[in-house]
Amino acid sequence: MDFLRTTHVPRVGFIMEQTLGHVTYTQNLQAAFASNERLAPVWMPVPFPAHGLLDRVPAVTANWAVRGSLRAYAALRSCGGARRFDALVFHTSTVSLAAPLAARTTPVILSLDATPVNFDRVGTHYGHRARLGSGAERVKQAIWRHVLHSAAGLTTWSQWAKDSLRDDYGIDPERVTVVAPGVDLALFAFGARPRPSIDDRKVRILFVGGDFERKGGALLLACMRAGLAERCELYVVTRDPVPAAPKVHVYHDLGPNDPRLLALYRDVDIFALPTYADCLAVVLAEAMAAGLPVVTTTVGAQPEAVQHGRCGIIVPPGDEVALGRALSRLADDPLLRQALGREGRATAEARFDARANAARLANVVDQGIERWRRTRVLGPRRPAAVSRSRRARPVDPDFERCEFHAAGVPRG
């Protein structure tokens, strides 16, 4: 009777922050799960538009976590609520304040690029100022401890964030799995091939960062003015205005995985992100997948992703002299560029493969469901699983409406 058996696939809601690199992360996850039959994803992207009734309420506008979590709650309600899913994945903390409510009826997985304490430590350049030691901060800390401890499973993009869960929130590290943000390596296949030698053209440096100032773009312009432009050209991809300068080329309209952006990754020689504040920039994995040597800074988890002297060069944030020296060294040494680029590609294949990391995330979801079921007395209601044979079209029409409404980023 084996032919009558049906393999069931859990319905999993993915509530995803949609700012900066998290848009790329969502697209890469969607592409990876499009060919992964272990779960049936329902995508609920949470954008942060600067308009609407919510954005005119001061208490909401001033706090991204409140603002994002209200939007996340609305997206979840539009899909029928937490009870309609076998599990929910909340990515990131900015959309997760309502997670304990959902966890009463459904296993919740929290996916974090950084903890709130991590963000407090790098947040100045985001316009965020924490009043450390104040009563308000102690209340915030207690709220986040409750949110984090309510999760059936936790993933972080980095060991940096995992360590904070342990040290700042008392989370058992055995409950936390590091799953780095992945890259669709198929889009960066050129990164596995040797780069052509440079003949008579200048060395090309690529910068990709939506927030030009925070990501250190102005520091790169200063290096160009200080003499780097004599042997290098700078290619800038950003949403922000950039002052015109010799040998500087600016692109404002390139989105995640845009073919024109991929062409830039293919045609340049060095990737530079001298950021003042970041948790873990997704573009670093893209640059390594492209086989580029990387220059970045010591902030957040950047040194964890880009190993100094192996995949690139790490400099202190805001140090124009150190940045200029690192870029000049790479510009003058093509063999060093090639060696660092090869190691970067190997690192991307080992640690930042989107499909492999999506499978690891699916493992966390499975384990979270089992853990939740072991620690709770289940009621009579559980959402019906989806058979693989029917996975392409959810049986509940509400789910179809939900996916059409919520999935603002195209699937796979």
User: Which residue ranges make up each domain of the chain?
Assistant: 2-182+353-406, 185-351
Specify the higher pLDDT residue, 48 or 168: 168
Note the pLDDT tens digit of each residue in 131-170: 766 777 888 899 999 999 999 999 999 999 999 999 999 9
Tokens for 3, please give them: 């032919």
Do domains 2-182+353-406 and 185-351 share one topology? The answer is yes
**Residue 315 pLDDT greater than 50, yes or no:** yes
CATH number of 2-182+353-406: 3.40.50.2000
**Residue 3 pLDDT greater than 80, yes or no:** no
Read out DSSP for 370-384?
A: HHHHHHS---S--PP
pTM: 0.87
Specify whether the CB–CB gap between 354 and 185 falls below 8 A: yes
- The CATH superfamily label for domain 185-351 reads Glycogen Phosphorylase B; (3.40.50.2000)
pLDDT on residue 402? 56
Read out DSSP for 291-304?
A: T--EEEESSTTHHH
pLDDT on residue 61? 41
State how far the Cα of 351 lies from the Cα of 349, in Å rounded to an integer: 6
Torsion of CA 217, 159, 175, 147, to 10 degrees: -30
pLDDT on residue 318? 97
Confidence band of 198 (pLDDT split at 50, 70, 90): confident
| Percentage with pLDDT > 70 across the chain | 85
What SS3 class is residue 171? coil
Specify whether the CB–CB gap between 116 and 171 falls below 8 A: no
